[in-house]
Amino acid sequence: MSRLRAELRQGIVGMGWRHAVVGVALAVAVYFTSMIYNTLNHGPYVMFLRTPLDQAMPLVKVFVIPYISLNPVTYVTLVVFLLFRIRIYESAALSMITAFLVSYAFYFFVQSYVARPVVSGDDLLSQLLRDVYRGDNPYNDFPSLHVSISTVLAISWWRFNQRVGWVAAVWAAVVIASTQLVHQHYLADVAGGLLVGFGASWIWGRVILSRGHLQKGRTAAAPA
């Protein structure tokens, strides 16, 4: 019980009203920033980044499961960080917002397109994959937001707990593979998403987490 109380003191409940206000504001900002995606998800496209290797990639329907896992994992992750590590939450939320905005700039100015296969079959995996295709037009591909957001989450979990971070890293790797194997993205989209995800996490980690360690150090050094 004392361990739980100690953990909660590092979350939104124990870090003061300023962090609480910022936490709620960031939750709202992440939500509304994510909503911009649909307004840009249309042609005409400027880039078609398929390579021969992309064209040779098989369609593996089972990978639709990790592909659609991104949203629930994102929500759970942000709630856990909000409750137990407010600074990691702030860093993750700002990294996600940055990834959205950088990607949106590409979608607006240099829209991309991905060619999808026809999915046949009445099995559950085929139905799920067709649902993904119906809910997401074949645009907004470079850089891949699935890649950048899963990367941000994996890095944030690593900062929270390295053992959980390994699990998150494996999950992110499977999600990244799924973007290829359900034919939602090309290899260039993956590379762009990794660059955005790592870059945003590095920047906000330096700004938020380094500042938090510095403030703790000053508090510890203050005279009693």
Residues across the chain = 224
| DSSP codes joined into one string, 159-218 | HH-HHHHHHHHHHHHHHHHHHHHTTS--HHHHHHHHHHHHHHHHHHIIIIIHHHHHHHHH
pLDDT number for residue 221: 38
Task: Give the residue among 105, 114, 87 at the shortest CA–CA distance from 187.
Answer: 114
pLDDT number for residue 223: 40
pLDDT number for residue 211: 66
Q: What tokens were used for 133?
A: 């295709």
Digitized pLDDT (tens) for each residue of the chain, 224 residues in all: 777 677 767 777 767 778 889 899 999 999 999 999 999 999 999 999 999 999 999 999 999 999 999 999 999 999 999 999 999 999 999 999 999 999 999 999 999 999 999 999 999 999 999 999 999 999 999 999 999 999 999 999 999 999 999 999 999 999 999 999 999 999 999 999 999 999 999 999 999 987 654 344 443 334 43
pLDDT number for residue 121: 92
pLDDT number for residue 210: 78
pLDDT number for residue 4: 67
